[in-house]
Amino acid sequence: MSGREPYADFERDVPEHLREDAMQMMAEMTGGYGEHSCIHILDRDKLDAINVRAHGIIEIDGEEYTFQMEDGNWSGTVLLDWNSGREFEKHVPIRWTLQPSNDLINKAIEAGKGPFLIWKWDVMLKRPEIAAIPGKYAYDRHFAPGGKTEQHWKAAAAKHRFVIVSEERAEGTRKRLAEATEPLP
């Protein structure tokens, strides 16, 4: 790998008069919206209903180059890698869960009642209507991404004084609460 930006390497290798067409064809093939005999997609990873990443090979003027590209509404069309041999890594989706709202967390820590809030948190997550929120959020976020989905499920969680967070963040919160066994001075 050259250590340079993929676009700089692309511009170095692809004649200027072919660049726009090459980028358009790679974007179309990344998204699965076209067929171009000079491009072969080796792997495609749907990030959600709109966003996708792909790894492929393009032939330009008799030379073959590898590329990795992302296309969708998150970042537009982005050339992630150009002919470096970098391994294609599949997107690992965030695992969502619920945790108490920040005001409840702060009050429990200040009062030294962190373990009690953990207990309440676990009891509340046993209620089916609450337990279902992260899964429904993840599903809608994948198949119908956008502001409406975010607003709807965040409001549903807030009704029960929860927020939607990654499992990693929730683990950190649990640790902080478990350590809060005495009131703050």
Element (H, E) at 169: helix 167-179
CA distance 117 to 108: 7
Indicate left, alpha or beta for 55 from its phi (over 0: left) and psi (-120 to 50: alpha): beta
CA distances from residue 127 to 159, 166, 182 in whole angstroms, order as listed: 13, 20, 29
* 96-130 pLDDT tens trace: 999 999 999 999 999 999 999 999 999 999 999 99
Task: Say what the pLDDT of residue 3 is.
Answer: 47
Task: Say what the pLDDT of residue 145 is.
Answer: 82
Beta strand segments in the chain, E: 39-46, 52-60, 63-72, 76-82, 96-100, 162-166
Mean of the pLDDT values across residues 64-87?
93
Given a cut of 60, whether residue 2 has pLDDT beyond it is: no
Task: Say what the pLDDT of residue 1 is.
Answer: 40
More reliable by pLDDT, 102 or 34: 102
Of all residues in the chain, the percent with pLDDT exceeding 90 is: 80
Task: Say what the pLDDT of residue 4 is.
Answer: 61
Task: Say what the pLDDT of residue 85 is.
Answer: 87
Given a cut of 90, whether residue 185 has pLDDT beyond it is: no
Characterize 5-17 residue by residue with b for buried, 16 or more Cβ atoms within 10 angstroms of its Cβ, and e for exposed.
ebeebbeeebeee
Mean of the pLDDT values across residues 45-74?
93
Cβ–Cβ < 8 Å for 71, 30: yes
* 146-170 pLDDT tens trace: 889 999 999 999 999 999 999 999 9
